[in-house]
Structure 1
Amino acid sequence: MSFPQFAFNNIRRNARQYFAYLLSSSFMVMIFFTYAVFIYHPAIENSPMGTMTRTGMTIATVIVYVFAFLFVLYSISVFLKSRNREFGILTILGAEAKQINWLIFLENILIGAVAIVTGIASGMLLSKVFLLISTKIIDMDELPFYWPFKAMLLTAGAFAALFLVISLFTLLFIRKNQVLELLKGTSKPKTEPKANLFLALLGVALLAIGYAALRVKELDPTGLLVAAVTGIIGTYFFYSQLSVWVVRMLQRNRTTTWKGTNLLWISEMSYKIKDNARMLFLVTVVVALASMSTGFVLAMQQSTKAVYLDNPYALSYTSYSNTNKNKAQKELAQIEHRLQSEGLTYKQADVETIYYGLSGHGKDPLYIVPQSSYNSIASKMNAAPVTAFGEKDAVLVETPSAAKRNAGTQTAMDIELSGQRHSVSLENRTDRLAAVAFSGKLLVIHDSLFEKLKKQQITDGLGVDHHYLFMLPNSQGLPQKDDPETKLGIELADWNRNVISEGFIQSRAESYYSFKQGISLFSFIGVFVALIFSISSASFLYFKLHTELAADQTMYRSLSKIGLSTREMNISASIQIAVLFFIPILVAALQSLVVLGPVLAYLDSPYVSGPVLAASSAFLAAQMIYFLIARARYIKSVNRMMV
Structure 2
Amino acid sequence: MIQWKLATHTITKNREQYLPFILASTMLIAVNYIFWSTTLNTSLKRTINGNVAVNLMFLGTIFVTLISIILMLYINRFLIKQELNELALYNMLGFAVKDLKKILLIQVILLFMISTSLGLVCGVVFGKIFFLVLNALVQGSHIVEQFKISSFVLVILTFGGIFLLLFLNDIKNIYKISPANLWQESQKAESEPQGNLLGGIIGIALLTWGYGIAVRTQPNMKSMLRFMLAIIIVVLGTYLFFIFSSIVFLKFLKNKKKFYYQPSHFISISDMLYRMKQNGASLASICLLCTAVLVTIVGTMSLYVGQEHLINNWNPYDFVISQKTPVSQNAYKLLEQTATEQHVKIKSIHKLAITTPVPISIKNTGITPGFKGASHQMATLTVDNYNQLENTNYHLSPHKILIYSEDKPIIPKKMFINGQEYHTQIISHFNFAFSYQRSTLKPLFIITANQKIAQSVNPNSWLYVLGFNTGGTTKQVNKFAVKLPGALRLKTDNYSAIPIVKKAIHALFGSLLFIGGLISLTMILVTALLIYYKQISEGYADRARFQTMQEVGLSLDETKQAIRSQVLTLFMFPILGAVINLMFAFPAIKNSLSLFSMYNLRLLVVVTLVTLFLLITYYLVIYGLTTKIYTKIVEQRSHNLE
Q: Which whole-Å CA distance do the structure 2 matches of 1:471 and 1:499 have between them? A: 17
Aligned residue in 1 for 2:373: 361
What is the CA–CA distance in structure 1 between the aligned matches of 2:11 and 2:40, rounded to whole Å? 35
Distance 1:244 1:348 in 2: 70
Q: Secondary structure at the match of 1:195?
A: coil
The one-character-per-residue Cα deviations of 1:487-506 (angstroms, maximum 9, x if unpaired) are: 73685267538972368222
Deviations 1:586-608, CA, capped at 9 Å, x for gaps: 21232133124234235534535
2:193 alignment partner AA: P
2:413 is the counterpart of 1:411: yes
- Secondary structure class of the residue paired with 1:192: coil
Instruction: Give unmatched runs, 5+ long, in structure 1.
Output: 380-384, 475-482
Question: Which structure 1 residue ranges, 4+ long, deviate > 6 Å from structure 2?
Answer: none
For 1:315 and 1:368, locate their aligned partners in 2 and report how far apart those are by CA, in whole Å: 21
CA shift at 1:378, angstroms? 0.6
Q: 1:180 to 1:614 in 2, by over 3 A?
A: farther
Partner of 1:85: 85
CA distance in 2, matches of 1:122, 1:205: 45
Q: Deviation of residue 337 (structure 1)?
A: 4.5
Q: CA deviation at 1:396?
A: 0.4
Residue 548 of structure 1 aligns to a residue in which SS? helix
Kindly provide the amino acid, as one letter, of the partner of residue 23 in structure 1. Answer: L
1:352 matched to which residue of 2? 353
Output the amino acid matched with 1:319.
Answer: Q
Residue in 2 that maps onto 1:16 = 16
Aligned counterpart in structure 2 of residue 292 of structure 1, from 286, 295, 302: 295
Partner-residue secondary structure (3-state), 1:365: strand
Q: Distance in 2 between matches of 1:271 and 1:49?
A: 53
1:479 aligned partner:
none
How far the C-alpha of 1:377 sits from its partner, in A, is 0.7
1:540-551 matches, within 5 Å, as: 540-551=530-541
Letter in 2 for 1:496: P
Matches within 5 A, 1:383-402: 385-399=392-406, 402=407
Q: CA deviation at 1:631?
A: 1.6
CA contact (8 A) 1:312 1:432 kept: no
Q: Take 1:296 and 1:225, find their aligned partners in 2: how far apart are those partners? A: 15
After TM superposition, list the pairs within 5 Å mapping 1:231-380 onto structure 2.
231-259=234-262, 261-308=264-311, 312-321=316-325, 325=328, 328-330=331-333, 332-333=335-336, 337=340, 341-343=343-345, 346-357=347-358, 358=360, 359=369, 360-379=372-391
2:625 to 604, 617, 629: 629
| Structure 2 counterpart of 1:519 | 509
**Structure 2 equivalent of residue 223 of structure 1:** 226
Structure 1 segment 161-200 matched on structure 2, within 5 A: 161-174=161-174, 176-179=176-179, 181-200=181-200
Distance, in Å, in 2 between the alignment partners of 1:426 and 1:298 is 37
Change (3 A) 1:562 1:528: same
> What amino acid maps onto 1:56 in structure 2?
L
Between 202-211 and 221-230, report the one with greater CA deviation.
Answer: 221-230
Q: What is the correspondence of 1:435-514 to structure 2 with a 5 Å cutoff?
A: 435-436=433-434, 438=436, 439-447=442-450, 450-451=451-452, 463-471=461-469, 484=473, 488=477, 492=481, 495-496=484-485, 500-501=489-490, 504-508=494-498, 510-514=500-504
Q: In the aligned structure 2, how far is the partner of 1:223 from the partner of 1:307?
A: 26
> What does the per-residue CA deviation read over 1:300-326, in whole Å, with 9 as the maximum and x for residues that have no partner?
3355333345564232211214x7846
Cα deviation per residue 1:5-45 (whole Å; 9 max; x = unaligned)? 32222212211111111101100111122233334456546
Alpha-carbon separation, structure 1, partners of 2:120 and 2:38: 14
| RMSD of Structure 2 on Structure 1 (CA) | 3.2
| Residue from 608, 615, 625 that aligns with 2:611 | 615
> C-alpha distance in 1, partners of 2:339/2:292?
48
Amino acid of the structure 1 residue aligned with 2:383: Q
Change (3 A) 1:493 1:506: farther
Question: Alpha-carbon deviation of 1:169?
Answer: 4.0
Q: Distance in 2 between matches of 1:114 and 1:549?
A: 27
Q: Deviations over 1:150-199 (max 9, x none)?
A: 33233223322332233224423445334454323444454223211111
Question: What's the secondary structure of 1:440's corresponding residue?
Answer: strand
CA contact (8 A) 1:265 1:575 kept: yes
Which residue pairs with 1:478 in the alignment?
Answer: none
The Cα offsets for residues 229-258 of structure 1, whole Å up to 9 and x where unpaired, read as 321211111111001111221222334334
* Residue 558 of structure 2 corresponds to residue 556 of structure 1: no
Cα separation, 2, equivalents of 1:30 and 1:23: 10
Identity of aligned residues (%): 16
Q: Distance in 2 between matches of 1:256 and 1:246?
A: 13
**Cα displacement (A) at 1:96:** 2.5
Matches of 1:568 and 1:286, distance apart in 2: 33
Give the TM-score normalised by the residue count of structure 2.
Answer: 0.86
Structure 2 equivalent of residue 428 of structure 1? 426
Alpha-carbon distance in structure 2 between the residues aligned to 1:467 and 1:286: 47
Q: Deviations over 1:210-243 (max 9, x none)?
A: 1223345866255224322321211111111001
CA separation of 1:501/1:348 partners in 2, compared to 1, >3 Å: closer, same or farther? closer
Report the Cα distance in structure 2 between the residues aligned to 1:35 and 1:294, rounded to whole angstroms. 18
- Identify the range of structure 1 (66-75 vs 608-617) with the bigger mean alpha-carbon deviation: 608-617
1:469 aligns to what SS in structure 2? strand
Moved more, 60-69 or 257-266: 257-266
Structure 2: distance between partners of 1:120 and 1:82: 29
Return 543-552 or 301-310, whichever deviates more. 301-310
TM-score, reference length from structure 1? 0.86
